[in-house]
Structure 1
Amino acid sequence: MSQIIDVAHLNYRYPQQSADDLTLKDISFSVAAGEWVAIVGHNGSGKSTLAKNLNGLLAPASGTITVDGEVLSEDTVWNIRKKIGMVFQNPDNQFVGATVADDVAFGLENQGVPRDEMLARVAAALKQVNMSDFATREPARLSGGQKQRVALAGMIAAQPQILILDEATSMLDPRGRAEVLQTIQAMKVAGNLTVLSITHDIDEAASANRVLVVNDGELKEEGTPAEIFRHGPELIKMGLDMPYAERLKAALKRQGVQVPADYLTEKGMADWLWQLSSNK
Protein backbone atom coordinates (compact mmCIF):
# COMPACT_ATOMS: atom_id res chain seq x y z
CA MET A 1 0.00 0.00 0.00
CA SER A 2 1.15 3.55 -0.70
CA GLN A 3 2.07 5.85 2.17
CA ILE A 4 -0.38 8.70 2.72
CA ILE A 5 1.32 10.16 5.82
CA ASP A 6 5.04 10.32 6.49
CA VAL A 7 6.44 11.97 9.62
CA ALA A 8 10.22 12.39 9.77
CA HIS A 9 12.18 13.52 12.85
CA LEU A 10 9.35 15.69 14.18
CA ASN A 11 10.13 17.94 17.15
CA TYR A 12 7.76 20.38 18.80
CA ARG A 13 8.02 22.82 21.69
CA TYR A 14 5.40 25.16 23.06
CA PRO A 15 6.33 28.88 23.19
CA GLN A 16 6.89 28.81 26.95
CA GLN A 17 9.36 25.92 26.72
CA SER A 18 13.12 26.33 26.62
CA ALA A 19 15.18 25.35 23.57
CA ASP A 20 16.09 21.95 25.00
CA ASP A 21 12.66 21.20 26.47
CA LEU A 22 10.53 19.45 23.82
CA THR A 23 6.96 18.13 23.95
CA LEU A 24 7.60 15.93 20.87
CA LYS A 25 11.05 14.45 20.45
CA ASP A 26 12.34 13.11 17.12
CA ILE A 27 9.15 11.25 16.14
CA SER A 28 9.15 9.36 12.83
CA PHE A 29 6.49 7.03 11.40
CA SER A 30 4.47 6.38 8.24
CA VAL A 31 0.82 5.50 7.65
CA ALA A 32 -0.42 3.59 4.62
CA ALA A 33 -3.52 4.67 2.73
CA GLY A 34 -6.57 2.89 4.16
CA GLU A 35 -4.81 1.92 7.39
CA TRP A 36 -6.20 2.44 10.91
CA VAL A 37 -3.42 3.47 13.28
CA ALA A 38 -4.02 3.99 17.00
CA ILE A 39 -1.66 6.38 18.79
CA VAL A 40 -1.81 5.58 22.49
CA GLY A 41 -0.26 6.99 25.63
CA HIS A 42 -1.13 8.42 29.02
CA ASN A 43 -2.47 11.94 29.48
CA GLY A 44 0.28 14.48 28.78
CA SER A 45 2.34 12.09 26.66
CA GLY A 46 2.11 14.33 23.57
CA LYS A 47 -0.61 12.52 21.59
CA SER A 48 -2.89 15.53 21.02
CA THR A 49 0.09 17.77 20.27
CA LEU A 50 1.09 15.28 17.58
CA ALA A 51 -2.43 15.31 16.11
CA LYS A 52 -2.42 19.11 15.89
CA ASN A 53 0.96 19.07 14.16
CA LEU A 54 -0.34 16.65 11.53
CA ASN A 55 -2.93 19.09 10.17
CA GLY A 56 -1.00 22.30 10.74
CA LEU A 57 -2.81 23.60 13.82
CA LEU A 58 0.65 23.67 15.41
CA ALA A 59 3.94 24.26 13.57
CA PRO A 60 6.83 21.90 14.42
CA ALA A 61 10.16 23.19 15.66
CA SER A 62 11.86 20.88 13.15
CA GLY A 63 11.20 17.82 11.04
CA THR A 64 8.82 17.23 8.15
CA ILE A 65 5.24 16.02 7.72
CA THR A 66 4.23 14.79 4.28
CA VAL A 67 0.55 14.17 3.49
CA ASP A 68 -0.46 12.55 0.21
CA GLY A 69 2.84 13.57 -1.37
CA GLU A 70 2.78 17.20 -0.15
CA VAL A 71 5.15 18.51 2.50
CA LEU A 72 3.20 20.46 5.13
CA SER A 73 4.13 24.14 5.06
CA GLU A 74 2.52 27.58 5.15
CA ASP A 75 1.96 27.29 1.41
CA THR A 76 0.36 23.83 1.49
CA VAL A 77 -1.47 23.81 4.84
CA TRP A 78 -4.91 24.75 3.49
CA ASN A 79 -4.76 22.18 0.71
CA ILE A 80 -3.66 19.49 3.18
CA ARG A 81 -6.45 20.38 5.60
CA LYS A 82 -8.97 19.61 2.86
CA LYS A 83 -7.67 16.05 2.95
CA ILE A 84 -7.85 15.68 6.73
CA GLY A 85 -10.95 15.59 8.90
CA MET A 86 -10.53 15.94 12.66
CA VAL A 87 -12.95 15.08 15.46
CA PHE A 88 -12.03 16.31 18.93
CA GLN A 89 -12.80 15.07 22.43
CA ASN A 90 -15.55 17.64 22.99
CA PRO A 91 -17.72 18.09 19.88
CA ASP A 92 -19.33 21.21 21.39
CA ASN A 93 -16.13 23.05 20.50
CA GLN A 94 -16.70 22.24 16.80
CA PHE A 95 -20.36 23.20 16.45
CA VAL A 96 -21.07 26.44 14.57
CA GLY A 97 -24.52 25.83 13.02
CA ALA A 98 -27.91 26.60 14.56
CA THR A 99 -29.17 23.15 13.53
CA VAL A 100 -27.58 19.77 12.95
CA ALA A 101 -27.97 20.11 9.17
CA ASP A 102 -26.47 23.62 9.21
CA ASP A 103 -23.48 22.38 11.14
CA VAL A 104 -22.82 19.47 8.79
CA ALA A 105 -23.09 21.88 5.83
CA PHE A 106 -20.69 24.46 7.28
CA GLY A 107 -17.48 22.95 5.90
CA LEU A 108 -19.05 22.44 2.47
CA GLU A 109 -20.12 26.08 2.34
CA ASN A 110 -16.54 27.13 3.06
CA GLN A 111 -15.35 24.92 0.20
CA GLY A 112 -17.84 26.53 -2.19
CA VAL A 113 -19.71 23.29 -2.89
CA PRO A 114 -22.80 23.99 -5.05
CA ARG A 115 -26.02 24.07 -3.02
CA ASP A 116 -27.73 21.07 -4.67
CA GLU A 117 -24.64 18.93 -4.15
CA MET A 118 -24.24 20.25 -0.60
CA LEU A 119 -27.80 19.33 0.38
CA ALA A 120 -27.38 15.84 -1.06
CA ARG A 121 -24.09 15.28 0.76
CA VAL A 122 -25.50 16.55 4.07
CA ALA A 123 -28.53 14.25 3.80
CA ALA A 124 -26.35 11.26 2.90
CA ALA A 125 -23.92 11.94 5.75
CA LEU A 126 -26.68 12.23 8.35
CA LYS A 127 -28.24 9.01 7.08
CA GLN A 128 -24.90 7.20 7.37
CA VAL A 129 -24.62 8.09 11.06
CA ASN A 130 -28.33 7.49 11.79
CA MET A 131 -29.03 11.15 12.53
CA SER A 132 -31.45 12.07 9.71
CA ASP A 133 -34.33 12.51 12.17
CA PHE A 134 -32.32 15.12 14.06
CA ALA A 135 -31.48 17.39 11.11
CA THR A 136 -33.47 20.34 12.46
CA ARG A 137 -32.45 19.91 16.10
CA GLU A 138 -30.06 22.20 17.95
CA PRO A 139 -26.70 20.43 18.37
CA ALA A 140 -26.44 21.58 22.00
CA ARG A 141 -29.57 19.57 22.90
CA LEU A 142 -28.16 16.24 21.75
CA SER A 143 -26.59 13.49 23.86
CA GLY A 144 -22.83 12.98 23.87
CA GLY A 145 -22.99 10.08 21.41
CA GLN A 146 -25.33 11.97 19.11
CA LYS A 147 -23.03 14.99 19.11
CA GLN A 148 -20.09 12.85 18.11
CA ARG A 149 -22.12 11.31 15.29
CA VAL A 150 -22.97 14.83 14.06
CA ALA A 151 -19.29 15.73 14.15
CA LEU A 152 -18.58 12.58 12.14
CA ALA A 153 -21.33 13.49 9.69
CA GLY A 154 -19.54 16.77 9.03
CA MET A 155 -16.40 14.79 8.20
CA ILE A 156 -18.31 12.34 5.99
CA ALA A 157 -19.88 15.19 4.03
CA ALA A 158 -16.47 16.83 3.54
CA GLN A 159 -15.13 13.51 2.19
CA PRO A 160 -11.60 13.66 3.61
CA GLN A 161 -8.96 11.07 2.79
CA ILE A 162 -7.77 10.98 6.40
CA LEU A 163 -9.75 11.09 9.65
CA ILE A 164 -8.01 12.00 12.92
CA LEU A 165 -9.88 11.17 16.13
CA ASP A 166 -8.37 13.14 19.00
CA GLU A 167 -9.76 11.38 22.09
CA ALA A 168 -13.11 11.48 20.25
CA THR A 169 -14.69 8.69 22.32
CA SER A 170 -13.23 9.47 25.76
CA MET A 171 -16.35 11.31 27.02
CA LEU A 172 -18.82 8.64 25.83
CA ASP A 173 -20.34 5.74 27.71
CA PRO A 174 -19.50 2.22 26.43
CA ARG A 175 -22.59 2.10 24.19
CA GLY A 176 -21.88 5.52 22.66
CA ARG A 177 -18.23 4.59 22.15
CA ALA A 178 -19.18 1.39 20.37
CA GLU A 179 -21.65 3.22 18.11
CA VAL A 180 -19.07 5.82 17.07
CA LEU A 181 -16.36 3.22 16.40
CA GLN A 182 -18.77 1.10 14.35
CA THR A 183 -19.64 4.16 12.26
CA ILE A 184 -15.97 4.94 11.65
CA GLN A 185 -15.22 1.33 10.71
CA ALA A 186 -18.05 1.43 8.16
CA MET A 187 -16.69 4.73 6.76
CA LYS A 188 -13.22 3.20 6.48
CA VAL A 189 -14.44 0.17 4.57
CA ALA A 190 -16.76 2.15 2.29
CA GLY A 191 -14.24 4.82 1.27
CA ASN A 192 -10.75 3.39 1.92
CA LEU A 193 -10.50 6.02 4.66
CA THR A 194 -7.25 6.35 6.58
CA VAL A 195 -7.87 6.65 10.33
CA LEU A 196 -5.59 7.91 13.09
CA SER A 197 -7.11 7.34 16.52
CA ILE A 198 -5.44 9.36 19.28
CA THR A 199 -6.51 7.62 22.48
CA HIS A 200 -5.56 6.42 25.93
CA ASP A 201 -8.28 3.73 25.72
CA ILE A 202 -6.32 0.53 25.15
CA ASP A 203 -9.48 -1.43 24.27
CA GLU A 204 -10.30 1.08 21.50
CA ALA A 205 -6.77 0.63 20.15
CA ALA A 206 -7.40 -3.10 19.77
CA SER A 207 -9.54 -2.39 16.68
CA ALA A 208 -6.64 -0.72 14.83
CA ASN A 209 -4.35 -2.30 12.26
CA ARG A 210 -1.31 -0.90 14.04
CA VAL A 211 -0.52 0.77 17.36
CA LEU A 212 2.05 3.48 18.13
CA VAL A 213 2.93 4.01 21.80
CA VAL A 214 3.95 7.57 22.73
CA ASN A 215 5.42 8.26 26.15
CA ASP A 216 6.92 11.56 27.33
CA GLY A 217 6.93 12.89 23.78
CA GLU A 218 8.83 9.95 22.29
CA LEU A 219 7.68 7.06 20.09
CA LYS A 220 8.45 4.08 22.31
CA GLU A 221 6.83 1.13 20.55
CA GLU A 222 5.21 0.31 17.21
CA GLY A 223 3.44 -2.85 16.09
CA THR A 224 0.17 -4.68 15.64
CA PRO A 225 -2.22 -4.71 18.63
CA ALA A 226 -1.18 -8.31 19.34
CA GLU A 227 2.52 -7.35 19.36
CA ILE A 228 1.97 -4.34 21.62
CA PHE A 229 -0.43 -6.00 24.06
CA ARG A 230 1.89 -8.98 24.42
CA HIS A 231 3.98 -6.72 26.69
CA GLY A 232 1.29 -7.23 29.34
CA PRO A 233 2.36 -5.61 32.63
CA GLU A 234 5.09 -3.67 30.79
CA LEU A 235 2.30 -1.51 29.35
CA ILE A 236 1.72 -0.08 32.81
CA LYS A 237 5.30 1.23 32.86
CA MET A 238 4.47 3.08 29.64
CA GLY A 239 1.55 4.74 31.40
CA LEU A 240 -1.08 2.49 29.80
CA ASP A 241 -3.63 0.02 31.06
CA MET A 242 -3.85 -3.60 29.96
CA PRO A 243 -6.71 -4.72 27.67
CA TYR A 244 -9.54 -6.49 29.50
CA ALA A 245 -8.71 -9.86 27.93
CA GLU A 246 -5.08 -9.58 29.09
CA ARG A 247 -6.15 -8.58 32.61
CA LEU A 248 -8.43 -11.62 32.72
CA LYS A 249 -5.62 -13.89 31.49
CA ALA A 250 -3.32 -12.57 34.22
CA ALA A 251 -5.98 -13.16 36.90
CA LEU A 252 -6.60 -16.71 35.68
CA LYS A 253 -2.88 -17.41 35.61
CA ARG A 254 -2.61 -16.31 39.25
CA GLN A 255 -5.31 -18.90 40.02
CA GLY A 256 -3.19 -21.65 38.44
CA VAL A 257 -5.07 -21.85 35.13
CA GLN A 258 -2.94 -22.52 32.06
CA VAL A 259 -3.69 -19.64 29.68
CA PRO A 260 -2.65 -19.09 26.04
CA ALA A 261 0.64 -17.26 25.58
CA ASP A 262 -0.59 -15.34 22.54
CA TYR A 263 -2.69 -12.18 22.80
CA LEU A 264 -6.45 -12.77 22.62
CA THR A 265 -9.15 -10.27 21.76
CA GLU A 266 -12.26 -10.28 23.95
CA LYS A 267 -13.96 -12.53 21.37
CA GLY A 268 -10.90 -14.78 21.29
CA MET A 269 -10.92 -14.97 25.07
CA ALA A 270 -14.63 -15.86 25.10
CA ASP A 271 -14.04 -18.61 22.52
CA TRP A 272 -11.12 -20.00 24.52
CA LEU A 273 -13.11 -19.99 27.77
CA TRP A 274 -15.97 -21.79 26.00
CA GLN A 275 -13.57 -24.47 24.74
CA LEU A 276 -12.00 -24.75 28.18
CA SER A 277 -15.43 -25.24 29.76
CA SER A 278 -16.50 -27.77 27.10
CA ASN A 279 -13.42 -29.91 27.69
CA LYS A 280 -14.17 -30.35 31.38
Structure 2
Amino acid sequence: MQPVIDIQDLSFRYREATTDALKHVSLTVNPGEWVAIIGRNGSGKSTLAGNIIGLLEPERGSVTSGHVTVSGLPLDDEHVWDIRARVGIVFQNPDNQFVGATVADDIAFGMENRAVPRAEMQQRVQAALSAVGMTDFAEREPARLSGGQKQRVAIAGIVAQAPDIIILDEATSMLDPAGRRAVIDLVTQLQQERHMTVLSITHDLDEAARADRIIMLAHGAVADVGTPAEIFTRGTELAANGLDVPFPEQLKVALRARGVSVPDDYRTEKGLVDYLWTLRSTM
Protein backbone atom coordinates (compact mmCIF):
# COMPACT_ATOMS: atom_id res chain seq x y z
CA MET A 1 0.00 0.00 0.00
CA GLN A 2 1.44 3.40 -1.00
CA PRO A 3 1.39 5.89 1.90
CA VAL A 4 -0.87 8.91 1.44
CA ILE A 5 1.67 10.95 3.43
CA ASP A 6 5.35 10.07 3.18
CA ILE A 7 7.92 12.17 5.06
CA GLN A 8 11.57 11.24 4.83
CA ASP A 9 14.43 12.82 6.79
CA LEU A 10 12.69 16.19 7.14
CA SER A 11 14.45 18.97 9.06
CA PHE A 12 13.16 22.53 9.41
CA ARG A 13 14.54 25.62 11.13
CA TYR A 14 12.68 28.91 11.61
CA ARG A 15 14.44 32.08 10.59
CA GLU A 16 16.48 33.59 13.43
CA ALA A 17 16.30 30.28 15.37
CA THR A 18 19.49 28.59 16.49
CA THR A 19 18.18 25.01 16.49
CA ASP A 20 15.96 22.96 14.18
CA ALA A 21 12.25 22.80 14.99
CA LEU A 22 12.15 19.44 13.19
CA LYS A 23 15.10 17.07 13.21
CA HIS A 24 15.33 14.32 10.60
CA VAL A 25 11.66 13.34 10.91
CA SER A 26 10.57 10.28 8.92
CA LEU A 27 7.04 8.88 9.04
CA THR A 28 4.28 7.52 6.82
CA VAL A 29 0.48 7.61 6.99
CA ASN A 30 -1.57 5.06 5.05
CA PRO A 31 -4.85 5.78 3.22
CA GLY A 32 -7.82 5.65 5.60
CA GLU A 33 -5.61 5.54 8.69
CA TRP A 34 -5.97 7.77 11.76
CA VAL A 35 -2.56 8.79 13.08
CA ALA A 36 -2.14 10.97 16.17
CA ILE A 37 0.95 13.13 16.59
CA ILE A 38 1.53 13.82 20.29
CA GLY A 39 4.12 15.73 22.28
CA ARG A 40 4.55 18.66 24.64
CA ASN A 41 4.26 22.27 23.46
CA GLY A 42 7.26 23.11 21.30
CA SER A 43 7.88 19.51 20.25
CA GLY A 44 7.30 20.37 16.57
CA LYS A 45 3.74 19.10 16.07
CA SER A 46 2.29 22.19 14.37
CA THR A 47 5.52 22.81 12.47
CA LEU A 48 5.13 19.33 11.02
CA ALA A 49 1.53 20.07 9.96
CA GLY A 50 2.64 23.31 8.30
CA ASN A 51 5.31 21.47 6.34
CA ILE A 52 2.87 18.82 5.09
CA ILE A 53 0.69 21.38 3.30
CA GLY A 54 3.40 23.86 2.41
CA LEU A 55 2.38 26.65 4.79
CA LEU A 56 5.96 27.03 5.99
CA GLU A 57 7.72 28.19 2.89
CA PRO A 58 11.49 28.72 2.64
CA GLU A 59 11.04 32.47 3.15
CA ARG A 60 9.76 31.75 6.68
CA GLY A 61 12.41 29.24 7.53
CA SER A 62 14.89 26.80 6.13
CA VAL A 63 14.11 23.23 5.13
CA THR A 64 17.58 21.87 5.66
CA SER A 65 16.91 18.37 4.36
CA GLY A 66 14.23 15.84 3.53
CA HIS A 67 11.27 15.14 1.30
CA VAL A 68 7.49 15.34 1.74
CA THR A 69 5.09 13.47 -0.56
CA VAL A 70 1.30 13.76 -0.27
CA SER A 71 -1.07 11.60 -2.33
CA GLY A 72 1.89 10.65 -4.52
CA LEU A 73 2.82 14.29 -5.23
CA PRO A 74 6.10 15.85 -4.09
CA LEU A 75 5.73 18.99 -2.01
CA ASP A 76 7.24 21.64 -4.27
CA ASP A 77 6.19 24.84 -6.03
CA GLU A 78 4.70 22.89 -8.93
CA HIS A 79 2.46 20.66 -6.80
CA VAL A 80 1.71 22.61 -3.61
CA TRP A 81 -1.75 23.77 -4.73
CA ASP A 82 -2.70 20.29 -5.90
CA ILE A 83 -1.67 18.99 -2.48
CA ARG A 84 -3.71 21.65 -0.67
CA ALA A 85 -6.74 20.59 -2.71
CA ARG A 86 -6.34 17.09 -1.26
CA VAL A 87 -5.79 18.13 2.36
CA GLY A 88 -8.11 19.99 4.72
CA ILE A 89 -6.83 21.42 8.00
CA VAL A 90 -8.82 22.46 11.08
CA PHE A 91 -6.89 24.79 13.38
CA GLN A 92 -7.02 25.36 17.13
CA ASN A 93 -9.03 28.58 16.84
CA PRO A 94 -11.82 28.30 14.23
CA ASP A 95 -12.35 32.08 14.29
CA ASN A 96 -9.13 32.36 12.27
CA GLN A 97 -10.72 30.29 9.48
CA PHE A 98 -14.06 32.10 9.12
CA VAL A 99 -14.51 34.47 6.19
CA GLY A 100 -18.24 34.23 5.37
CA ALA A 101 -21.06 36.37 6.78
CA THR A 102 -23.11 33.24 7.47
CA VAL A 103 -22.33 29.62 8.24
CA ALA A 104 -23.48 28.55 4.76
CA ASP A 105 -21.37 31.27 3.09
CA ASP A 106 -18.32 30.19 5.03
CA ILE A 107 -18.70 26.53 4.06
CA ALA A 108 -19.11 27.55 0.41
CA PHE A 109 -16.03 29.79 0.38
CA GLY A 110 -13.46 27.10 -0.39
CA MET A 111 -15.55 25.69 -3.21
CA GLU A 112 -16.04 29.14 -4.71
CA ASN A 113 -12.26 29.50 -4.91
CA ARG A 114 -12.15 26.22 -6.83
CA ALA A 115 -14.93 27.22 -9.22
CA VAL A 116 -17.32 24.46 -8.17
CA PRO A 117 -20.61 24.90 -10.08
CA ARG A 118 -23.23 26.68 -7.95
CA ALA A 119 -25.80 23.87 -8.01
CA GLU A 120 -23.20 21.34 -6.88
CA MET A 121 -21.89 23.79 -4.30
CA GLN A 122 -25.33 24.21 -2.74
CA GLN A 123 -25.77 20.44 -2.51
CA ARG A 124 -22.38 19.99 -0.90
CA VAL A 125 -23.01 22.79 1.62
CA GLN A 126 -26.27 21.17 2.71
CA ALA A 127 -24.67 17.73 2.89
CA ALA A 128 -21.79 19.08 4.99
CA LEU A 129 -24.18 20.91 7.34
CA SER A 130 -26.18 17.73 7.77
CA ALA A 131 -23.03 15.67 8.39
CA VAL A 132 -21.98 17.89 11.31
CA GLY A 133 -25.49 18.43 12.69
CA MET A 134 -25.61 22.17 11.90
CA THR A 135 -28.39 22.38 9.29
CA ASP A 136 -30.48 24.70 11.47
CA PHE A 137 -27.57 27.15 11.77
CA ALA A 138 -26.99 27.78 8.05
CA GLU A 139 -27.94 31.47 8.22
CA ARG A 140 -26.29 32.19 11.57
CA GLU A 141 -23.24 34.42 11.89
CA PRO A 142 -20.24 32.18 12.72
CA ALA A 143 -18.95 34.58 15.40
CA ARG A 144 -22.14 34.07 17.43
CA LEU A 145 -21.77 30.30 17.73
CA SER A 146 -20.41 28.37 20.70
CA GLY A 147 -16.88 26.95 20.60
CA GLY A 148 -18.08 23.46 19.75
CA GLN A 149 -20.43 24.76 17.05
CA LYS A 150 -17.62 26.80 15.51
CA GLN A 151 -15.42 23.71 15.28
CA ARG A 152 -18.29 21.81 13.65
CA VAL A 153 -18.61 24.57 11.05
CA ALA A 154 -14.84 24.55 10.46
CA ILE A 155 -15.01 20.77 9.93
CA ALA A 156 -18.03 21.17 7.63
CA GLY A 157 -16.08 23.64 5.50
CA ILE A 158 -13.36 21.03 5.07
CA VAL A 159 -15.75 18.11 4.52
CA ALA A 160 -17.62 20.02 1.78
CA GLN A 161 -14.39 20.18 -0.21
CA ALA A 162 -14.10 16.36 -0.07
CA PRO A 163 -10.39 16.13 0.78
CA ASP A 164 -8.51 12.86 0.98
CA ILE A 165 -6.89 13.92 4.26
CA ILE A 166 -8.05 15.93 7.29
CA ILE A 167 -5.48 17.41 9.65
CA LEU A 168 -6.71 18.40 13.11
CA ASP A 169 -4.13 20.84 14.48
CA GLU A 170 -5.01 21.03 18.20
CA ALA A 171 -8.59 21.43 16.97
CA THR A 172 -10.20 20.46 20.28
CA SER A 173 -7.83 22.14 22.73
CA MET A 174 -10.06 25.19 23.33
CA LEU A 175 -13.19 23.12 24.03
CA ASP A 176 -14.56 21.81 27.30
CA PRO A 177 -14.51 18.00 27.80
CA ALA A 178 -18.05 17.54 26.46
CA GLY A 179 -17.35 19.65 23.37
CA ARG A 180 -14.07 17.83 22.82
CA ARG A 181 -15.76 14.43 22.89
CA ALA A 182 -18.51 15.63 20.55
CA VAL A 183 -16.05 16.90 17.93
CA ILE A 184 -13.90 13.76 18.07
CA ASP A 185 -17.01 11.55 17.87
CA LEU A 186 -17.99 13.52 14.77
CA VAL A 187 -14.57 13.11 13.13
CA THR A 188 -14.62 9.39 13.96
CA GLN A 189 -18.02 9.03 12.29
CA LEU A 190 -16.97 10.99 9.20
CA GLN A 191 -13.75 9.02 8.86
CA GLN A 192 -15.59 5.72 8.98
CA GLU A 193 -18.32 6.84 6.58
CA ARG A 194 -16.04 8.54 4.05
CA HIS A 195 -12.84 6.51 4.54
CA MET A 196 -10.82 9.70 5.01
CA THR A 197 -7.29 9.78 6.36
CA VAL A 198 -6.99 11.70 9.64
CA LEU A 199 -3.83 13.22 11.05
CA SER A 200 -4.52 14.48 14.57
CA ILE A 201 -2.00 16.91 16.09
CA THR A 202 -2.79 16.86 19.80
CA HIS A 203 -1.61 16.69 23.39
CA ASP A 204 -4.95 15.21 24.49
CA LEU A 205 -4.49 11.48 25.05
CA ASP A 206 -8.26 10.84 24.97
CA GLU A 207 -8.22 12.15 21.41
CA ALA A 208 -5.07 10.18 20.60
CA ALA A 209 -6.76 7.02 21.90
CA ARG A 210 -9.07 7.10 18.85
CA ALA A 211 -6.10 6.74 16.50
CA ASP A 212 -4.89 3.59 14.80
CA ARG A 213 -1.32 4.65 15.50
CA ILE A 214 0.49 7.26 17.60
CA ILE A 215 3.72 9.07 16.77
CA MET A 216 5.36 10.85 19.71
CA LEU A 217 7.55 13.88 19.01
CA ALA A 218 10.13 15.22 21.44
CA HIS A 219 12.41 18.20 20.72
CA GLY A 220 11.51 18.04 17.03
CA ALA A 221 12.35 14.36 16.55
CA VAL A 222 10.33 11.14 16.49
CA ALA A 223 10.64 9.66 19.99
CA ASP A 224 8.30 6.69 19.70
CA VAL A 225 5.76 5.04 17.38
CA GLY A 226 3.09 2.49 18.27
CA THR A 227 -0.57 1.73 18.76
CA PRO A 228 -2.40 3.62 21.56
CA ALA A 229 -2.25 0.45 23.67
CA GLU A 230 1.53 0.25 23.21
CA ILE A 231 2.21 3.94 23.84
CA PHE A 232 -0.12 4.39 26.81
CA THR A 233 1.55 1.67 28.87
CA ARG A 234 4.80 3.72 28.82
CA GLY A 235 3.82 6.01 31.65
CA THR A 236 7.37 7.10 32.51
CA GLU A 237 8.11 8.00 28.90
CA LEU A 238 4.85 9.96 28.56
CA ALA A 239 5.55 11.92 31.74
CA ALA A 240 9.13 12.66 30.61
CA ASN A 241 7.69 14.21 27.44
CA GLY A 242 5.24 16.43 29.34
CA LEU A 243 2.16 14.32 28.66
CA ASP A 244 -0.43 13.09 31.11
CA VAL A 245 -0.55 9.39 31.84
CA PRO A 246 -4.06 8.04 31.03
CA PHE A 247 -6.20 7.55 34.14
CA PRO A 248 -6.48 3.74 33.76
CA GLU A 249 -2.67 3.50 33.81
CA GLN A 250 -2.47 5.73 36.89
CA LEU A 251 -5.08 3.55 38.59
CA LYS A 252 -3.19 0.37 37.72
CA VAL A 253 -0.04 1.73 39.38
CA ALA A 254 -2.01 2.62 42.52
CA LEU A 255 -3.71 -0.78 42.63
CA ARG A 256 -0.42 -2.66 42.19
CA ALA A 257 0.99 -0.70 45.13
CA ARG A 258 -1.85 -2.15 47.18
CA GLY A 259 -1.21 -5.70 46.04
CA VAL A 260 -4.06 -5.91 43.53
CA SER A 261 -3.41 -7.97 40.38
CA VAL A 262 -3.95 -5.85 37.26
CA PRO A 263 -3.28 -6.60 33.57
CA ASP A 264 -0.05 -5.49 31.91
CA ASP A 265 -1.75 -4.49 28.66
CA TYR A 266 -3.55 -1.16 28.20
CA ARG A 267 -7.23 -1.03 29.13
CA THR A 268 -9.70 1.80 28.69
CA GLU A 269 -11.59 2.92 31.79
CA LYS A 270 -14.46 0.59 30.87
CA GLY A 271 -12.08 -2.25 30.08
CA LEU A 272 -10.31 -1.87 33.43
CA VAL A 273 -13.62 -1.72 35.32
CA ASP A 274 -14.77 -4.90 33.56
CA TYR A 275 -11.50 -6.62 34.49
CA LEU A 276 -11.72 -5.55 38.14
CA TRP A 277 -15.35 -6.63 38.31
CA THR A 278 -14.43 -10.05 36.94
CA LEU A 279 -11.50 -10.25 39.38
CA ARG A 280 -13.77 -9.41 42.31
CA SER A 281 -16.36 -11.98 41.31
CA THR A 282 -13.71 -14.75 41.44
CA MET A 283 -12.34 -13.77 44.86
Q: TM-score range by the shorter chain?
A: over 0.9
Match of 1:12 in 2: 12
For residues 2 and 11 of structure 1, what CA distance do their matches in structure 2 show? 23
User: Paired residue for 2:81, among 75, 78, 83?
Assistant: 78
For residues 278 and 168 of structure 1, what CA distance do their matches in structure 2 show? 42
Secondary structure of 1:95 counterpart: coil
Give matches, 1:76-155, under 5 Å: 76-155=79-158
Match of 1:276 in 2: 279
Report how far residue 44 of structure 1 moved. 0.9
Return the letter of the residue paired with 1:131: M
Return the letter of the residue paired with 1:2: Q
Return the letter of the residue paired with 1:259: V
Give matches, 1:145-224, under 5 Å: 145-224=148-227
For residues 2 and 24 of structure 1, what CA distance do their matches in structure 2 show? 24
Return the letter of the residue paired with 2:22: L
Return the letter of the residue paired with 1:162: I
Is 1:40 matched with 2:43? no
For residues 44 and 115 of structure 1, what CA distance do their matches in structure 2 show? 42
Question: Which consecutive unaligned segments of at least 5 residues does structure 1 have?
Answer: none
Secondary structure of 2:235 counterpart: coil
For residues 175 and 21 of structure 2, what CA distance do their matches in structure 1 show? 28
Match of 2:55 in 1: 57
Report how far residue 277 of structure 1 moved. 3.4
Report how far residue 242 of structure 1 moved. 0.7
Report the TM-score, using the length of structure 2 for normalisation: 0.96
Return the letter of the residue paired with 1:14: Y
For residues 147 and 64 of structure 2, what CA distance do their matches in structure 1 show? 36
Match of 2:60 in 1: none
CA contact (8 A) 1:203 1:244 kept: no
Superposed CA deviations along residues 74-131 of structure 1, whole A, max 9, x for unmatched, are: 1110000000000000000000001100000000100100000000000000001000
Report how far residue 233 of structure 1 moved. 2.2
For residues 138 and 181 of structure 2, what CA distance do their matches in structure 1 show? 22
Report the TM-score, using the length of structure 1 for normalisation: 0.97
User: Which 10-residue stretch deviates more, 254-263 or 119-128?
Assistant: 254-263
Return the letter of the residue paired with 2:6: D
Match of 2:22 in 1: 24
Report how far residue 175 of structure 1 moved. 1.1
For residues 185 and 35 of structure 1, what CA distance do their matches in structure 2 show? 11
For residues 165 and 102 of structure 1, what CA distance do their matches in structure 2 show? 22
Report how far residue 273 of structure 1 moved. 2.5
Report how far residue 62 of structure 1 moved. 2.1
Q: Which 4+ runs in 1 deviate beyond 3 A?
A: none
